[in-house]
Structure 1
Amino acid sequence: MLDNQPRGTIVIEDLEVGMLRYLQKQVTDQDIEMFAQVSTDRNPVHLDDDYARDTIFQGRIAHGMLTAGLISAVIGEQLPGHGTVYLGQTLKFMAPVRPGDMVRAEVQVEAIDHSRRRVTLATRCLVGDTVVLKGEAVVLAPSRKFD
């Protein structure tokens, strides 16, 4: 299940501090398996119930970077959107995401440097009211001047 806001582009000239966009996605066993195949990260904490039960997580968890990828989707599809270039991202993993969890990935404009087309974005992912990931991204935003 995927719930998100309209996709497209918000050019830097139309961005405002405080703007927020998000998507919501339920993380499935298939998502975890596909991410393991693409990334080649087959850590059994993600894929093996018996192994994961004996870890600090007491069960399987999704890859942290799978969760972080949802932030990338918001940035690349919604805020600023198509034409955005990632320059950097910090991430702090706060809590595990488990198969079946509904993750809400949020991106909010913190600062805009019009002269350099740089936008600083607060990023976070939640499961319910629990922040599972937080960080900050810096991107090169699309501009009307370069269409």
Structure 2
Amino acid sequence: MTNVDFTISFENIEVGMSVSYSQTVTDADVKQFAGLSGDHNPVHVDENFAASSRFKRRIAHGLISGSFFSALFGTKLPGPGCVYVAQSFNFKRPVYLGDTVTAIATVKSIDVAKRRVFFETVCKVRNKTVIDGSAELYVPEDK
């Protein structure tokens, strides 16, 4: 697996290339996401409610971690100008406030004729998978 830390032209993308992005999820992130998305589920925003839940404390919205793939695709691989076609998420474990999430996207296949790149995607916290799935990106001709 080759780790790419820069944008790369479509013609140079190869199966096995991988990119990653890490970010620690904060209280401010959760509150901003709740405001942006309208998802004010108390398991995310209310300490008392979350304490009585199966999680025992507040958890981050799953799509906060899922959105880290957008950072990878739009800035690293395939890079600026690419457009999402599809993304799937399987939520395996909760992400708690203060957890550092590492999103990893690995090229699984390429459709040169349609200029599509297919990725395996995974988010990890302390080397445990919290999300896995796949993504498909379109890369325009001018990239």
Paired amino acid for 1:99: L
Partner of 2:53 in structure 1?
55
Deviation at 1:142, TM superposition (A): 4.0
What is the distance in 1 between the residues matched to 2:69 and 2:50? 26
The RMSD of aligned alpha carbons is 1.3
Partner of 1:72 in structure 2?
70
What is the distance in 1 between the residues matched to 2:41 and 2:52? 14
What is the distance in 1 between the residues matched to 2:140 and 2:18? 17
Structure 1 runs of 4+ aligned residues shifted over 2 Å read none
Choose the corresponding residue for 1:38, options 17, 36, 39: 36
What TM-score do you get using the length of structure 1 for normalisation? 0.91
SS of equivalent residue, structure 2 residue 95: coil
SS of equivalent residue, structure 1 residue 17: coil
Count residues in correspondence: 140
SS of equivalent residue, structure 1 residue 95: coil
Matched, 1:15 2:24: no
Gaps of 5+ in 2: none
Partner of 2:136 in structure 1?
138
Paired amino acid for 1:38: L
Question: Contact between 1:11 and 1:141, CA under 8 Å: does it hold in 2?
Answer: no
What is the distance in 2 between the residues matched to 1:10 and 1:54? 47
Gaps of 5+ in 1: none
Q: Deviation string for 1:21-72 (max 9, x for gaps)?
A: 0111000000000000111111010011110011121110000011100111
